[in-house]
Amino acid sequence: MVAEGDLEQAEYERLIKSTIKLDLSTLVDLYPDYVTYVHQELKILVASSEGLDKSLQSPDVAIRMLSWIKRSKKLLNSGVTIHTALDTKLQTQSKIAVQSKIGVNDIEVLLVVIQHHTHELVSLIGGKDYKKNSFNRAYQSYRQPGA
C-alpha cells in the first residue's frame, strides 16, 4: 500500500509496531432446537457417503463407524458453513408461543413449520424447555401428531 501511495510510510511503521488484539468469545447458539437437527442431518449425510446406510452387517462396519464419527466431528469443527432455510423471526416467535401457551404444566410440545411451497424446514422447536443435545421431540419422538 505504501508503494501504491495509499499509505504513508510513517503510518505503515506505526501499524507494523501495533499489537493485534483478538476477541475470542464463545459462540452463542440462539437456535439449539434447529441446529441440533441440522447437525444430525449432516451426520446422516456423512454416514451415507461412508456407505453406512447400505449395510450394517458387513465385517468392516466398526471401522467405517469409527471413520464416520471422526469425519463428522472434523467436519463440524472445521468451520464449515451450512446454509439452511431457518427463519429466525419465526423460530423466535414459535419458541415464545410454545413457552407462553404451555406454561409450567407437565405437558410437552414440539413444533415444526415447513414452508409448503418450497418444502423447506423454516422452524423447529424440540420441546418447551429444550436444551442442546437433549431429547428433541421434533425429530426424535415417534408419536402420531396430536397423540
Residue type, 64: R
Q: Which residues contact 108 (CB under 8 A, 6 or more apart)?
A: 102, 127, 128, 137
Q: Largest Cα–Cα distance of the chain, in whole Å?
A: 73
pTM of the predicted model, to two decimals? 0.68
The total of other beta-carbon atoms located within 10 Å of residue 125's CB is 23
pLDDT in tens, 131-147: 888 898 888 887 766 65
> What is the band of 91 on the pLDDT scale with cuts at 50, 70, 90?
very high
The residue with cell 469443527 is 77
> What is the band of 59 on the pLDDT scale with cuts at 50, 70, 90?
low
